[in-house]
């Protein structure tokens, strides 16, 4: 009988792993009576069932409203689960993992064979990571390595955040290998960024010149690298790089999660004769592997807590938005009925007050739409449209606001934009959110521009929304897309950019930005080109 485990990698319960029982059926659904409960409105009360049959596990959809997907395809009958299958259930992505079922046989017969090697682990159990260099004096090589691994475990047990435990792990390596310089790198938005760098004396290095080839080979290929002048079999580019940097010996181990590199630990020495050995690389690799698993677990724990919080917020927001929308419909109807009479009888001041009231109602309507858009997953209402028209509609919606603030709103058309599959309503709303932020951040006399153009390769559409305003403060740049985060204090809801990113990602696109304080901000929305209408993924309630 195969042994399988379900790992939730996205959605409610992210990070959770469940082993499938081999002696009974296993159910998945929103109801609490299921073996795996997913608190998601797109998941049916009893959504799917997994049954052990003939040595395999068989998945069956229980007539759920939004279907069960295996590797992106909705299933219509029984499907045998295989290792690495990806199950789509509502908002959740569940990966099937095969686990090894081990049978252990114990024997009480005394072992009379010779002992080949022994390590006195009693020497390591009380080691303080901060004093390991003194503690391991007199240890053999194997004992030193075991001491470092133990101390690394202590560090990872005491510190959860990578920014806390990675520098301490680097310090440990300096206590046992002949390194002159070292650094810990983390992958940040596709680029390797140094988190901490130091020398053998423990001094922080403000400037560090290292072999990029060594770092790239380790991170890109996911392998540990040991190199130096005279090493046989070195990669040519790596060898040339370390010679140019006057490095006698260098080693680098990737900090890897389960599927990708998250960073690297780098050590080198410029002192001739102090070269690293294979055992040094093996120890560094072991420590880096521990760091990678801890790094990924920290991320999963954070994302799981965030997902659960957002699921709860989403339910509340959806309920509030629904009620507000119903009340607002009555207000809008009354406004339409009385507006002719109001315009005929009110003074100029009264008409201005009426216009201000209508503007406030528009803002409430926009807020409700943002709340509804964020509270539940949805498929775009795909249409083949000219993106110039979407940009023009967004600019028209903001014309009065820009004029009242003394801001020039510049919408540039592209003569050969062509037709693109998108949801024009939600995309327009997203551009309105971006441009509104630009207007709010730009003083009178400044400019907010919207520009659309196909990418050079023709496979994606680029929409730029730029302003000449105050820019985004450095401490806020990692949070601008977070739900309920706003740099406008009480004037902002913190919904606009969160909704915008959600809409862009529903289109299969990306949104990025560049910003400089007191110079302005530019957002770039990229939407992929679809040759035909994209398939519908969800059936929303």
* Residue 541, pLDDT score: 36
> Where do the structural domains in the chain lie, given as residue ranges?
3-99, 138-300, 306-375, 383-528
Does residue 371 register a pLDDT over 90?
no
pLDDT in tens, 39-72: 888 899 999 999 998 888 999 999 898 889 998 8
Does residue 119 register a pLDDT over 50?
no
* Residue 380, pLDDT score: 87
Average pLDDT over residues 141-156: 83
* Residue 235, pLDDT score: 52
* Contact (CB, 8 A) for 467 and 441: yes
pLDDT in tens, 163-183: 889 999 999 999 888 899 899
CATH of domain 3-99: 2.60.200.20
Does residue 157 register a pLDDT over 70?
yes
pLDDT in tens, 384-418: 999 999 999 999 989 888 998 999 999 999 998 99
Strand, coil or helix: what is 532? coil
Does residue 269 register a pLDDT over 50?
yes
How far, in Å, CA of 298 to CA of 316, rounded? 28
How far, in Å, CA of 121 to CA of 150, rounded? 10
β-bridge pairing 408-412 and 447-454: parallel
* Residue 291, pLDDT score: 92
Q: Residue 233: pLDDT band by 50, 70, 90 thresholds?
A: very low
Give me the architecture of the 383-528 domain, per CATH.
2-Layer Sandwich (3.30)
Out of 71-75, 511-515, 522-526, pick the least confident: 71-75
46: left (phi over 0), alpha (psi -120 to 50) or beta: beta
- Beta bridge pairs of residue 421: 384
* Residue 489, pLDDT score: 55
Residue 146 has φ and ψ, to the nearest 5°, of -65, -35
Neighbours of 502 (CB within 10 A): 19
84: left (phi over 0), alpha (psi -120 to 50) or beta: left
* Residue 26, pLDDT score: 95
Q: Residue 124: pLDDT band by 50, 70, 90 thresholds?
A: very low
The residue with greater pLDDT, 240 or 406, is 406
Q: Residue 134: pLDDT band by 50, 70, 90 thresholds?
A: low
Exposed/middle/buried for residue 189 (C-beta within 10 Å: 0-12, 13-18, 19+): exposed
* Residue 206, pLDDT score: 82
* Residue 191, pLDDT score: 77
Q: Residue 205: pLDDT band by 50, 70, 90 thresholds?
A: confident
Query: Which class is domain 138-300?
Result: alpha beta
Q: What contacts 329, CB < 8 A, 6 or more positions away?
A: none
Q: Residue 352: pLDDT band by 50, 70, 90 thresholds?
A: confident
- Indicate whether this model's pTM tops 0.85: no
Q: Which residue from 362, 435, 422 is spatially nearest to 389, judged by alpha carbons?
A: 422
Does residue 273 register a pLDDT over 70?
no
pLDDT in tens, 294-347: 988 888 877 776 666 666 666 666 667 667 777 777 887 888 888 888 888 888
pLDDT in tens, 429-470: 899 999 999 999 999 899 999 999 999 888 899 999 999 999
pLDDT in tens, 482-512: 766 677 655 556 677 888 888 898 898 999 9
Residue with tokens 């309503």: 425
* Residue 120, pLDDT score: 41
The residue with greater pLDDT, 116 or 299, is 299
- The top-scoring range by mean pLDDT among 146-155, 223-232, 245-254, 461-470 is 461-470
* Residue 308, pLDDT score: 66
Instruction: Round the average pLDDT of the chain to a whole number and report it.
Output: 81
% the chain with pLDDT above 90: 31
Does residue 245 register a pLDDT over 60?
no
Does residue 21 register a pLDDT over 80?
yes
């Amino acid at each position: 009988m195969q042994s399988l485990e379900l790992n939730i990698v996205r959605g409610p319960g992210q990070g959770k792993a469940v082993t499938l029982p081999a002696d009974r059926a296993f159910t998945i659904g929103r109801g609490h009576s299921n073996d795996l409960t997913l608190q998601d409105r797109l998941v049916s009360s009893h959504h799917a069932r997994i049954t052990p049959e003939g040595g395999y596990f068989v998945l069956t959809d229980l007539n759920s409203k939004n279907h069960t997907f295996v590797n992106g395809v909705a299933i219509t009958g029984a499907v045998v689960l295989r290792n690495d299958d990806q199950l789509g259930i509502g908002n959740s992505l569940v990966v099937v993992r095969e686990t090894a079922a081990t049978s252990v046989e114990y024997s009480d017969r005394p072992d009379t064979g010779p002992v080949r090697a022994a390590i006195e682990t009693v020497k390591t159990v009380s080691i303080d990571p901060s004093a390991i260099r003194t503690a391991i004096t007199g240890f053999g090589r194997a004992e030193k390595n075991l001491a470092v691994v133990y101390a690394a475990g202590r560090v990872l047990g005491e510190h959860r955040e990578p920014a806390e435990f990675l520098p301490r792990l680097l310090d440990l390596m300096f206590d046992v290998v002949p390194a002159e310089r070292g650094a810990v790198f983390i992958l940040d938005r596709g680029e390797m960024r140094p988190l901490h760098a130091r020398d053998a004396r423990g001094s922080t290095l403000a400037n560090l010149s290292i072999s990029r080839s060594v770092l790239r080979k380790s991170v890109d290929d996911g392998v540990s690298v040991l190199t130096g002048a005279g090493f046989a079999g070195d990669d040519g580019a790596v060898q040339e790089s370390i010679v140019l940097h006057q490095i006698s010996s260098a080693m680098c181990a990737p900090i890897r999660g389960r599927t990708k590199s998250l960073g690297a630990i780098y050590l080198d020495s410029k002192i001739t004769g102090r070269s690293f050995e294979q055992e040094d690389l093996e120890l560094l690799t072991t420590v880096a592997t521990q760091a990678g698993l801890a790094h990924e677990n920290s991320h999963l724990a954070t994302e799981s807590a965030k997902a659960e919080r957002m699921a709860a917020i989403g339910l509340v927001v959806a309920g509030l938005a629904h009620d507000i929308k119903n009340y607002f419909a009555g207000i809008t109807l009354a406004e339409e009925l009385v507006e002719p009479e109001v315009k005929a009888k009110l003074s100029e001041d009264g008409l201005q007050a009426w216009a201000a009231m209508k503007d406030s109602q528009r803002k409430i309507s926009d807020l409700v739409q943002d709340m509804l858009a964020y509270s539940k997953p949805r498929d775009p209402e795909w249409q083949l449209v000219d993106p110039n028209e979407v940009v023009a509609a967004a600019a028209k919606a903001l014309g009065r606001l820009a004029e009242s603030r003394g801001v020039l709103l510049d919408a540039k058309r592209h003569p050969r934009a062509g037709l693109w599959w998108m949801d024009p309503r939600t995309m327009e709303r997203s551009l309105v959110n971006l441009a509104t932020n630009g207007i709010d951040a730009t003083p009178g006399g400044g400019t907010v521009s919207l520009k659309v153009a196909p990418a050079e390769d023709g496979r994606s559409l680029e929409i730029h929304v730029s302003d000449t305003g105050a820019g985004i403060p450095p401490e806020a740049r990692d949070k601008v897309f977070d739900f309920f985060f706003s740099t406008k204090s009480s004037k902002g809801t913190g919904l606009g950019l969160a909704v915008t990113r959600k809409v862009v990602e529903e289109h299969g696109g990306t949104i990025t930005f560049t910003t400089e304080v007191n110079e302005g901000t530019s957002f770039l929305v990229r939407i992929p080109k679809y040759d035909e209408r994209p398939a519908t993924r969800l059936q929303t309630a």
